[in-house]
Amino acid sequence: MMDLHSKYPAISDLKAKARKRIPHFVWEYLDSATGLEATLHRNQAKMRDVLFKTSILHGEFTPDLTTQFLGRDYPLPFGIAPVGMSGLIWPGAEKSLAKAAVSLGIPYTISTVSTQLPEDMAPYIGDQGWFQLYPPRDPEIRADILTRAKAAGFHTLVMTVDVPVASRRERQTRGGLQQPPRLTPRLAMQAAVCPVWLNGIRQTGMPRMKLMDGYATDMKGSLPSTEHIGYLLRTSPDWSYVERLRNEWDGALIIKGVTNPEDAEALEKEGVDALWVTNHAGRQFDGSISTIEALPGVRGATKLPLIFDSGIEGGLDIMRALALGADFVMLGRAWHYALGAVGEKGPAHLADMLRRDMEANMGQIGTKTLADLKARVVPTHS
């Protein structure tokens, strides 16, 4: 792996390489946010404001990065977040990432709007499968999806609640992607200069949202890229929806999209198992506080385990999130940068890069375990 560390020592290096190998219209789908993208940049900027107190004379040690989350042991405190249309970003991405997750012993979360069916993923997810649900309006569809996910081996359900309506994502719209995806002459020209991506798509076929397509067989025509077929089937959930879902799913239930402490307190009373603190990486609303700013308030409002995402650019950022109250961290785009840059070897390289970064920084501040990070963070005053 050392050759990859020399060539791609940071996520930014993987991102730069992936941008050259992924067609522009797909890149705009993956990398864009909404509005002026202020929230996306705020996520990153506010992360850098979280500082640590250094400490010396601790002798030689290797930091322990193992953790436990929802009763399961993990060798690393991070996993793979859901990304819609993952197989469009890089051909075969869902299966590649699931296999990498099993090899690494970390969670892999597939999206409702992935390009693979739950049952297609059964041979690949091992015991690491999480299923992300965009809440269907029809209770029969919901019940069927839950049954299929459970039968395929997904043991943890993640309901996303911060996408009540389609966001505008102006940059993505300008990129020209349509739903379902198709190569117009303009987009075909962009694909032609990315031969590895194009050859992969020729082998897999043009990706579609297979699960949603199966429930919308009578719906025809194309939609804007921000209003895909899933929006015709799903609803904006309310509190009663959470209650029904809790009764229908007998595994771990995580609610994704929490930034308000009052919501966190209420969700704990609903009996959910964990909360996912995120502003959807700035892809839904451009007037949000950063996720790292929201994290301490949510932590103070609930005893539930917390997942964190948005704004992660390296191992140091994972440490920052853990220090401010997260129990686990998820990354989405970064895994796709790794696939786009390096292919099948990319996810393992990214994980090793993050591990090394965390070990180096924890050694610098004298923290031997993840639990020690809280004592090293510099208090902030709002």
Based on the residue annotation, tell me whether 24 is a catalytic residue of this protein.
no
Q: How many CB atoms lie within 10 A of CB 280?
A: 23
CA torsion 178→180→185→190, rounded to 10°? 70
- Give the Cα separation of 282 and 257 in Å (integer): 11
Task: Tell me how long the chain is.
Answer: 382
Of 159, 131, 161, nearest to 147 by C-alpha is 131
Q: Which residues sit opposite 183 in a β-bridge?
A: none
Structure tokens belonging to residue 312 = 């992660």
Structure tokens belonging to residue 322 = 């853990």
- Give the Cα separation of 73 and 116 in Å (integer): 27
- Give the Cα separation of 288 and 180 in Å (integer): 30
Of 200, 175, 151, nearest to 25 by C-alpha is 175
- Characterize the bridge pairing of strands 129-133 and 156-160: parallel
Structure tokens belonging to residue 165 = 């309506």
For residues 76-99, one letter each, b for 16 or more C-beta atoms within 10 angstroms of the residue's C-beta and e for the rest, the string is bbbbbbbbbbbbbbbbbbbbbbbb
Structure tokens belonging to residue 125 = 């997810």
Secondary structure tally for the chain: helices H, strands E: 20, 12
Of 298, 377, 380, nearest to 55 by C-alpha is 377
Of 291, 302, 284, nearest to 329 by C-alpha is 291
How far apart, in Å, are the Cα atoms of 96 and each of 99, 110, 321, 378? 5, 12, 27, 39
Q: Are 309 and 282 in contact (CB under 8 A)?
A: no
CA 48 to chain centre: 20
Rounded to the nearest 10 degrees, the angle between the axes of helix 291-301 and helix 38-48 is 70
Catalytic residue among 24, 155, 228, 280: 280
Structure tokens belonging to residue 198 = 């194009």
Catalytic residues: 280
